[in-house]
């Protein structure tokens, strides 16, 4: 199994009727600012470097972000925060993520999520997370020999990753750093959602430090 093959399976997945209905509805009833655009409106594949040292696990595509553009963390504010941080720490060739054909390229990093379809109110059900875990589990297995640092964005991503990796006893706290194997480190982060960034729950200095930590750890291991 390759990452490309997993992504092919993701795009054609139909395991969660509620999510499929939602992403199609969002695509049919577009906000005015996107009324002239055709939405992807399918499960959104992961992307990045297949030899990644850094793995970033988010929650799900945004309804008018990845669900519109067809690429994770693209066309929304969370994507702008993520790519700016990755650009400043050398994992991306551009600080912007606006469309699938914008020339963005990740170096040494791979971006995925625990759910591949945009969920209503950004709240997937446990069964939907369980269904999508099939793909994340495959990605983790394929990348296990190259990934040195895993960054989970938000509590649901943290809990899901720990469950799939059979890790117990860890606690969700921003900027916690856990050694989870002889050559693997988990860094815990808040999600760069508008709710967190607009309220100051997650500041830029807090956010960029996550990626500086990741880069430093990787450099000491390579």
3-state secondary structure at position 68? helix
Tens of pLDDT, residue by residue over 25-34, are 999 999 999 9
Query: Based on the number of CB atoms within 10 Å of its own CB, is 199 exposed (0-12), middle (13-18) or buried (19 or more)?
Result: exposed
| Tokens of residue 83, six digits | 């790519």
Phi/psi for 152 (5° steps) reads -100, 135
- Bridge partners (DSSP) of residue 189 are 153
Q: What angle do CA 22, 24, 29 make, to 5 degrees?
A: 95
Tens of pLDDT, residue by residue over 147-187, are 999 999 999 999 999 999 999 999 999 999 999 988 999 99
Prediction pTM value = 0.97
Tens of pLDDT, residue by residue over 137-146, are 999 999 999 9
Tens of pLDDT, residue by residue over 59-76, are 999 999 999 999 999 999
> Is a pLDDT exceeding 90 seen at residue 222?
no
> Is a pLDDT exceeding 90 seen at residue 213?
yes
> Is a pLDDT exceeding 90 seen at residue 36?
yes
Which superfamily does 3-221 belong to? Uracil-DNA glycosylase-like domain (3.40.470.10)
| Domain assignments of the chain as residue spans, ordered by start | 3-221
Please tell me the predicted confidence (pLDDT) of residue 159.
Answer: 98
Tens of pLDDT, residue by residue over 97-129, are 999 999 999 999 999 999 999 999 999 999 999
Tell me the three-class secondary structure of 4-21, residue by residue. HHHHHHHHCCCCCHHHHH
């Amino acid at each position: 199994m390759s990452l490309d093959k997993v992504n092919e399976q993701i795009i054609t997945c139909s395991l969660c009727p509620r999510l499929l209905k939602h992403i199609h509805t969002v695509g049919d009833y577009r906000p005015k600012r996107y009324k002239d655009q055709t939405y992807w409106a399918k499960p959104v594949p992961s992307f990045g470097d297949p030899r990644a040292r850094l793995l970033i696990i988010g929650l799900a595509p945004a309804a008018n972000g990845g669900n519109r553009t067809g690429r994770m963390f693209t066309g929304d504010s969370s994507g702008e925060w993520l790519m700016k941080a990755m650009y400043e720490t050398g994992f991306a060739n551009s600080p912007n993520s606006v469309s699938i054909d914008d020339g963005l390229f990740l170096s040494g990093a791979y971006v995925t999520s625990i759910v591949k379809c945009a969920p209503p109110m950004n709240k997937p059900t446990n069964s939907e997370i369980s269904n999508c875990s099939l793909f994340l589990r495959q990605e983790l297995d394929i990348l296990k020999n190259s990934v040195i640092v895993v960054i989970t964005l938000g509590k649901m991503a943290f809990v899901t990753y720990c469950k799939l990796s059979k890790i117990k006893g860890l606690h969700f706290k921003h900027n916690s750093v856990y050694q989870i194997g002889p050559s693997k480190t988990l860094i815990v982060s808040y999600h760069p959602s508008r709710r967190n960034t607009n309220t100051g729950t997650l500041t830029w200095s807090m956010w960029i430090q996550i990626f500086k930590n990741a880069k430093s750890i990787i450099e000491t291991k390579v």
